[in-house]
Amino acid sequence: MNAENLLLAQNLVSQTYINQGRDGIARRQNLIKSLLSNRRLPENGWDDASIEMLLQDCSNMDSNNFVGNVGVGEREARVASAMVATRHYRMAHGIGRSGDVAAEQPKAAGSSLLAKLCNLLTADALNTAGLHDLGGASVLPLATGMTVTMALLALKQKRPAGARYVLWPRIKKTCIKAVVGAGLELVVIPNLLVGEQLETDVALVRTTIDELGADSILCVLSTTSCFAPRGPDKVIELVTSHPVSSPPALPTTVPDM
């Protein structure tokens, strides 16, 4: 309901009640305005109706949802199942273009907007969690193993040419596949039993860095959340585990790794 339609609605319903409705709509529109302006997580969480309003507005900005659209274009989004379309608010174009996952979709302004907001809010969440000066963030639709593999390959471009070892406090096997898939060598660091849980053996990590040499180590692949009795890795201690030149730490947060 825009201002013009609300004015016309006064011919059907009392102006007093229409004004109340206008105020209700305006409050939700102000939430969206604040989000687009600040590009940060809101101080107070939104109710479902406000979230759905944003999603529906973005969906209506995608060309496959235009009124009268036939959907026969070469790159037009089409969904065979009404149930699937409803679940995704009829957004079906995805993100990015060939060769650039961060590019805008020419026929999907709404989906592109949501993708940009998702990256910005993720970066803000990481900053709020204490991970400062990270720069931008990209949320990619990848499974755990492929995500870790891509992160390792990105690190490979930043480290010395001989850096091929990945130090890994033991957890589940997804990490093994990721390291092997990236063409690297895994060095398993057994965990310590402390009380009733398994914890990171930081001393052994430090010793291993001395033995192999910091420049030969790509990173320390750690985990910040997992199932008992495995405790979360001591990520900060791992980052500063070597007094001279600690290899970078690559923390993961997925519990089923």
Max Cα–Cα distance, the chain, nearest Å: 82
Q: Let me know whether 73 and 31 are in one domain.
A: yes
- Please determine, for residue 156, whether its predicted confidence score (pLDDT) is greater than 90: yes
Based on the fold, state whether residues 123 and 210 are members of the same structural domain. no
In-domain check, residue 137: no
Indicate whether 106 and 175 sit together in one domain.
no
139 in a structural domain: no
Residue 257 lies in a domain: no
Q: Do 83 and 174 belong to one domain?
A: no
Number of domains present in the structure of the chain: 2
Q: Are residues 30 and 67 in the same domain?
A: yes
Q: Is 85 inside a domain boundary?
A: yes
Please say which residue of 99, 128, 157 terminates a domain.
Answer: 128
Place of tokens 């109710």: 47
pLDDT at position 76 over 70: yes
> 70 with 124, same domain?
yes
Average pLDDT over residues 49-69: 95
Greater model confidence, 169 or 131: 169
Percentage above 90 pLDDT, the chain: 62
244 plus 149 within the same structural domain = yes
What pLDDT is stored for residue 257 in this prediction? 36
pTM of the complete model beyond 0.85: no
Q: Which two tokens stand for residue 208?
A: 């291993």
Contact predicate 168/205, CB 8 Å: no
Do 26 and 122 sit in the same domain of this protein? yes
In a domain, 133, yes or no: no
Assess whether 121 and 185 both reside in one domain: no
Report the CATH number at residue 199: 3.40.640.10
Alpha-carbon gap, residue 38 to 230, rounded angstroms: 39
Domain boundary among 128, 154, 171: 128
Type of residue found at 35: L
Total H helices, total E strands in the chain: 9, 6
Q: Which residue is listed with tokens 């980052």?
A: 239
End residue of a domain, out of 128, 158, 178: 128
Note whether residue 136 is domain-resident.
no
Characterize 83-97 residue by residue with b for buried, 16 or more Cβ atoms within 10 angstroms of its Cβ, and e for exposed.
eebeeebbbbbebbe
Instruction: Give the residue numbers spanning the domain of 198.
Output: 144-252
Mean pLDDT of the chain: 90
Say if residue 57 is in the same domain as residue 83: yes
Note the pLDDT tens digit of each residue in 36-55.
Answer: 999 999 999 999 999 999 99
What does the pLDDT look like over 90-148, one tens digit per residue? Answer: 999 888 888 888 899 888 999 999 999 999 999 999 889 887 888 888 888 888 888 89
Domain CATH number, residue 98 = 1.10.10.2160
- Exposed (0-12), middle (13-18) or buried (19+): which is 181, by Cβ within 10 Å? middle
29 & 94 share domain: yes
- 80 and 105 within one domain: yes
